[in-house]
Amino acid sequence: MTQRADKNQLVAWASKLKDADAGLPSIRKFYQVFFKLPIAGERNVYVVLTDYGPSDIVTLKSDDGFLNQRFQIRIKIYHHHTVMQVTQSYGRASALFQYSVGMVLRHATKIHLQRAATIIEKRYKILEHGKEFLSLT
């Protein structure tokens, strides 16, 4: 979340993610997310960083009055592999929302997260290749 290219690639479903306030990532830091919606055009939402650990957790929460979305990424590093867990929830408890709008949004987010996971995997392989190259020299 510290580099602009990383932020924009990880939130592929948004057209842009930018800092809404100055400073390094920390709890209560605000970001502005821009979405391009087919009928409504571009919409922006402010999200706040509610949980942050530079190498293991990022939680963003919106309070837009409609979706109240919470998005969390956890990373666990084991000896031979790394696991990335993504949790997405909405502050709407009604069954009508969960089985209509919620289903569509979860499906769209899943597609974009699969793209983001591919990007993360490629970046990780490049970093690992760089480490191997440095250890050879």
Q: Looking at residue 44, what is its pLDDT? A: 83
HSE value, Cβ hemisphere, 13 Å, CA-based, for 118 = 7
Instruction: Give pLDDT tens digits for 113-133.
Output: 788 778 777 777 776 666 554
Which CATH number is 34's domain given?
A: 3.30.530.20
Tally of domains in the chain: 1
Instruction: Give pLDDT tens digits for 70-89.
Output: 888 888 888 877 788 888 88
Largest CA distance in the chain: 60
Task: Give backbone dihedrals phi and psi of 54, rounded to 5 degrees, phi first.
Answer: -50, -30
Instruction: Give pLDDT tens digits for 11-63.
Output: 555 667 788 888 888 899 998 888 776 666 777 888 899 998 877 888 889 87
Q: Looking at residue 6, what is its pLDDT? A: 55
Q: Looking at residue 96, what is its pLDDT? A: 92
Residue 109 has pLDDT above 60, yes or no: yes
Rounded Cα distance between 58 and 92, Å, is: 22
**Domain enclosing residue 128, as ranges:** 4-136
Per-residue DSSP letter, 94: -
